Amino acid sequence: MASEPLYGQPPSRPAPWNDPKIRAIAFQVAVSLGVAAFLVYLVLNTLHNLEARGIASGFGFLSRPAGFGIAQSLIEYSEASTYGRTFAVGLLNTLLVSGLGIVLATVLGFVIGVARLSRNWLIAKLAAAYIEIFRNIPLLLQILFWYFAVFLALPEVGEALKLGESIFLSRRGLYLPQPVLESGFSWTFAALAAAIAAGVALARWAHRRQELTGERFPALLVSLALVLGLPALAFIASGRPLAWQLPEMGAFDFAGGFAVIPELAALLVALVIYTAAFIAETVRAGILAVAHGQTEAAYALGLRPAWTTRLIIIPQAMRVIIPPLTSQYLNLIKNSSLATAIGYPDLFAVFAGTTLNQTGQAVEVMAMTMAVYLLISLLISFFMNWYNVKMALVER
């Protein structure tokens, strides 16, 4: 009995209900329909509920007057301004505290992370204690502590703490002399811009020279000197067009000067201290990730210790540090929304808080608020991914 040859036949096909491809398509169609039906159900419910409760919809409310005051605003704002304006004020306040927080937390985090690795036993233990204490206490608790137990416990205006003649610290906040720019200050700005441009050009030239000849040029130091020196020269040459407006102590409050409200101070201190603990751990892990052989190889090539750190260790450690550092920055921005607990007028407090309460348009307001945070997250992720690719190891 001659059996048929097994080769040369088309491969056997499973029954349609067993074919993985058909199954995958069927499953996806089912899931898509399910999700779509669920969304339609939610939208219909919402429309019905909004109608039943008599809540208006649409974004018309953004051009209506808001009618409430905001304690701190970076742009012109009054009670007669629109809800759209409150959105902008809140957004700028969020960006202000996030920007300041990111810079300060990075500096403090790097210092503590390096201190954690110090060969000085006491310094290393102090840094470890700092990290373990502050990252294991909820951020909200820290914010409340700094606000209610520290900044609101400061003396009243009359007995404000004085630092020198014109810096005051009281429960109304921190009052600093405010610089007032006079005509002619634009020369200083122009000089600063020129110095930055020159610095960038210098760095490029130094890089090219090093690629060609191997000789290093202290581009960083020279550009730093340029950025500080040129504006200073222009400032003096144009006749020092800057005056200081000093805060004056009044009966109940200060007049004039640059005021840092206690809400901002408390939020900023808490955010910086909390995030720095996480950044310090990131930095430590990054530095430890660079194999010791790299240091030894650099010494064997005759590099000085300072150069070894700057040229060998830091560039390699940064590669490990950047991705988790990005997520810490994102956390800080998202955590700044806790401002609402102490009344700092950030986006969440002003817009999703007061504006939502007054207009009742929960859907539009929450959608706008969440969209802002999502957009910031996505932008920073994209930027950091681009930077990460630039810094990534080029394998040859």
Partner 1 sequence: MARLERHPELPPPITEVGVLGWLRHNLFSSPANAALTLVALYVIYLTVPPLVDWALLKADWTGTTRADCKSGGACWAFVGVWFNQFIYRFYPVAEQWRVDLAFGLLVVLVVPLFVERFRWKGWLGAFIVVVYPAIAFYLFLGGAFGLTYVETSKWGGLMLTLIISAVGMVAALPLGIVLALGRRSTTMPVVRALCVVFIEFWRGVPLITVLFMSSVMLPLFLPEGVNFDKLLRALIGVTLFEAAYMAEVVRGGMQGIAKGQYEAADSLGLSFPKKMALVVLPQALKLVIPGIVNTFIALFKDTSLVLIIGLFDLLGAIQAAVKDAEWPQVVTEGYVFAAALFWIFCFAMSRYSQKLERRLGTGHKR
Binding region for partner 1 (CB under 8 A):
20-21, 24, 27-28, 31-32, 35, 42, 45-46, 48-50, 52, 118-123, 126, 132-133, 136-142, 144-145, 148-149, 153, 334-335, 337-338, 340-341, 348, 352, 356, 362-363, 366, 369-370, 373-374, 377-378
Q: Which is nearer to partner 1, 48 or 208 (CB)?
A: 48
Nearest distance, CB of residue 13 and partner 1, angstroms: 17
Contact 144, 269 (CB under 8 A): no
- Judged on CB neighbours under 10 Å (0-12, 13-18, 19+), 218 is exposed
Nearest distance, CB of residue 307 and partner 1, angstroms: 19
Nearest distance, CB of residue 93 and partner 1, angstroms: 15
Per-residue tokens: 278: 């996480």
Point out which residues pair with 242 in neighbouring strands.
181
Nearest distance, CB of residue 384 and partner 1, angstroms: 14
- Cβ neighbors of 159 (< 8 A, separation 6 or more) are 170
Burial state string for 317-335 with b = 16 or more CB within 10 A and e = fewer than 16:
bbbbbbebbbebbbebbeb
Query: What is the phi/psi pair of residue 233, to 5°?
Result: -60, -45
Nearest distance, CB of residue 24 and partner 1, angstroms: 5
How crowded is residue 344: how many other Cβ atoms within 10 Å of its Cβ? Answer: 27
Packing angle between helix 83-116 and helix 362-391, nearest 10 degrees?
Answer: 40
**At residue 112, what is the residue type?**
I
Q: Which is nearer to partner 1, 173 or 353 (CB)?
A: 353
Q: CA-to-CA distance for 261 and 87, rounded, in angstroms?
A: 20
Closest CA to 141 of 130, 149, 132, 131: 149
Instruction: Spell out the alpha helix ranges (H) of the chain.
Output: 20-53, 83-116, 121-135, 139-144, 186-213, 219-237, 262-289, 292-300, 305-307, 314-335, 347, 356-359, 362-391
Q: Which is nearer to partner 1, 77 or 344 (CB)?
A: 344
Per-residue tokens: 249: 């102590």
Q: Which is nearer to partner 1, 229 or 305 (CB)?
A: 305
Nearest distance, CB of residue 141 and partner 1, angstroms: 6
Q: Which is nearer to partner 1, 123 or 198 (CB)?
A: 123
Nearest distance, CB of residue 62 and partner 1, angstroms: 19
Q: Which is nearer to partner 1, 147 or 175 (CB)?
A: 147
178: helix, coil or strand? Answer: strand
Q: Which is nearer to partner 1, 140 or 227 (CB)?
A: 140
Q: CA-to-CA distance for 238 and 223, rounded, in angstroms?
A: 22
Nearest distance, CB of residue 357 and partner 1, angstroms: 10
Residue 101: CA atoms inside 13 Å, Cβ hemisphere, count?
32
104: region left, alpha or beta (phi > 0 left; psi from -120 to 50 alpha): alpha
Nearest distance, CB of residue 249 and partner 1, angstroms: 25
Q: Which is nearer to partner 1, 50 or 202 (CB)?
A: 50
Q: Which is nearer to partner 1, 234 or 368 (CB)?
A: 368
